Amino acid sequence: MSYLDEYKRKLVSDDEAVKVVKSGDLVHYGEFMMNSHVLDAALARRKDELKDVQIRTVTCPFVPQTVQVDPERESFIFNDWHFSGASRKLHDKNLCNYIPLTYHEGPSFYDRGYIPVDVTLLKVTPMDQHGYFNLGTSNSITPAVCDASKTIVVEVNESIPRCLGGSRETIHISRVDYIVEGDNRPLPELPDVPISDEDRKIASIVMDEIEDGACLQLGIGAMPNAVGAMIAQSDLKDLGVHTEMLVDSFVDMYEAGRITGTRKTIDIGKMVYTFAMGTKRLYDFLHENPVCASYPVDYTNNPYVIGQNDNVIGINNAIEVDLYGQVASESSGIRHISGTGGQLDFIFGSYKSVGGKGFICLSSTFVDRDGQVKSRIRPTLTPGATVTVPRSLNFYVVTEYGITMLKGKSTWERAEGLINIAHPDFRDELIKEAEKMKIWVRSSKIA
């Protein structure tokens, strides 16, 4: 049988395809922009027939129909490995649960049989002449999910870029059970995030730490985007890329001639990533571009793989840091906001890299819902806050007031360094709290 004949045999409607889902099943959606709104909507139409279907995804960019039609969570129980804005809003309404994860370990949960997957529903590119569908912008844990899945349903979408590997960036038709042809809706695009003066100042401090030949990882948000913009306009040379997330600023840097990858020690010349989110410009850049290499997350985010490149520069955001050096980046108190993601992986991995530096970046203050200005450098984390990076692994912390390195520092030295980069209006209060906590030496110097 030819691949085209097999394709025709497996081609069904969306409603027909989701009939494979039974009550009590664990259903895995695609990840990030590869979540299928078509298959989700078809599954939602079966609400009255199903009970206790557990749905898992990674950063779904839209509010699933399965959630909207079942606010009592009797038919569908929605879970997310890393929150999008949509998942965050659902969590606030008790309609979505977070699954704790150290990102590079994700595939192992499926490989070891901890998560038995009944059905996988994901979005893919059209099949090529060799019978392969490309996984598009999200490699991540998808290959491991497919390996563990009893049934695989794909929605073909012609708008998805064909993203080259790397490894495991495709799935063969022989492993697919049902094929649905969707509406070819363009991929969702991330909106522009306003860059503040504080972001620019922090970015300028980080820029002073980047040398020619450095290997870059950028997290999501305005401040990493500011760093990318500054790099594109700089005279830095021969930068490499080994990152979790590929964003538009990498395109800016590449087209400005800053990225060549020639000084990398592994994947030389390649921009390595595990998922991409951005605008159409990024997706067009990725399409069949051999300079980009998509890998599963247990490769990109493995600290011991990260550390094989020299001069790794990891740049990530945080919500708050306490005087012990603990970092909260995924929750504000008990309110869950995002997830551990690759932050912990790259802080750890950057330290394994010769000349590497891992930066936790945050503005010194924020304005709360009551209009009160609060410090992001705190005596202790807000009660209920999740520790994303433990104090034992934290490396550099940066605010608009400066930078401090925490490795090898005592509790009082950490407190001194962090208070020095806190907003001046809060430094006296932080000193008093440090004294109460027995982590202060009176001879300490505060700028």
Does 197-436 match 3-181 at the fold level? Answer: yes
Reported as a single tens digit per residue, the pLDDT across 156-198 is: 999 999 999 999 999 999 999 999 999 999 999 998 888 899 9
Tokens describing residue 339: 């997830």
Asked if pLDDT for residue 223 goes beyond 90, the answer is no
279-308: pLDDT as tens digits: 999 999 999 999 999 999 999 999 999 999
Q: CA-based Rg of the chain, rounded to a whole angstrom?
A: 23
Q: State the pLDDT at residue 444.
A: 64
Helix (H, G, I), strand (E, B), or coil: what is residue 377?
strand
* Contact (CB, 8 A) for 250 and 241: yes
Q: So what's the pLDDT on residue 191?
A: 87
pLDDT digits (tens, 9 = 90+) for 348-399: 999 999 999 999 999 999 999 899 999 999 999 999 999 999 999 999 999 9
Q: How far apart are the first and last CA of the chain?
A: 75
Tell me, which fold does domain 3-181 have in CATH? Glutaconate Coenzyme A-transferase (3.40.1080)
Amino acid at 381: L
Beta bridge partners of 138: 275
What's the one-letter identity of residue 425? D
Tokens describing residue 129? 């002449």
What is d(CA 92, CA 357) in angstroms, rounded to the nearest whole number? Answer: 35
Nearest by Cα to 137 from 328, 28, 284: 284
Cα separations (Å) of 136 from 76, 207, 218? 27, 32, 20
pLDDT beyond 90 at 430: yes
53-57, 98-102, 175-179, 220-224 — which is least confidently predicted? 220-224
Q: What is the pLDDT of residue 35?
A: 97
Rounded Cα distance, 290 and 264, in Å = 16
Please give the positions annotated as active site.
244
Q: What are phi and psi of 320, to 5 degrees?
A: -160, 155
The 3-class secondary structure across 138-202, one letter per residue, is ECECHHHHHHHEEEEEEEECCCCCCCCECCCCEEEHHHCCEEEECCCCCCCCCCCCCCCHHHHHH
- Has this prediction a pTM greater than 0.85? yes
Residues contacting 5, CB < 8 A, separation 6+: none
Q: Answer whether residue 50 shows pLDDT above 70.
A: yes
- C-alpha of 129 from chain center: 32
Measure the CA–CA gap between 24 and 118, rounded to whole angstroms: 9
The mean pLDDT value for 203-211 works out to 96
Long-range contacts of 229-238, Cβ-Cβ distance < 8 Å, separation of 24 or more? 229/195, 229/203, 230/203, 230/204, 231/207, 231/256, 231/258, 232/256, 232/258, 234/207, 234/258, 236/210, 236/211, 236/212, 237/212, 237/213, 238/212, 238/213, 238/262, 238/263
Token pair 């400066």: residue: 402
Given a cut of 80, is residue 275 above it in pLDDT?
yes
pLDDT at 374: 96
Q: Which residues contact 164 (CB under 8 A, 6 or more apart)?
A: 288, 289, 290, 292, 293, 294
The torsion of the CA quartet 22, 24, 30, 33, rounded to 10 degrees, works out to 100
In the chain, the amino acid numbered 316 is N
Q: Following DSSP, what letter does each residue of 80-139 receive, concatenated? A: ESS--HHHHHHHHTT--EE----GGGHHHHHHTTSS-EEEEEEEEPPP-TTSEEE-TTB-
Distances (CA, A) of 438 to 85, 379, 391: 39, 11, 17
CA distances from 371 to 194, 198, 366, 367 (A): 20, 18, 9, 6
Tell me the pLDDT of the chain averaged across its residues. 96
Residue 145 has pLDDT above 80, yes or no: yes
Tens of pLDDT, residues 40-49: 999 999 999 9
Domain limits, the chain: 3-181, 197-436
Provide the percentage of residues in the chain whose pLDDT is more than 90.
Answer: 94
Residue type, 233: Q
Closest CA relative to residue 272, chosen from 248, 310, 300? 300
CA neighbours within 13 Å on the CB side: how many for 67?
21
* Nearest Cα to Cα of residue 288 among 136, 126, 124, 127: 136
Q: What is the mean pLDDT of residues 233-240?
A: 97
Per-residue pLDDT at 72 exceeds 70: yes
Question: Residue 193's pLDDT is what?
Answer: 83
Structure-token match 């490699």, residue found: 139
> According to CATH, what is the number of the domain 197-436?
3.40.1080.20
CB burial string 225-259: b at 16+ within 10 A, e below = bbbbbbbbeeebeebbbbbbbbbbbbbbbbeeebb
Q: Which helix (H) or strand (E) holds 53?
A: strand 53-58
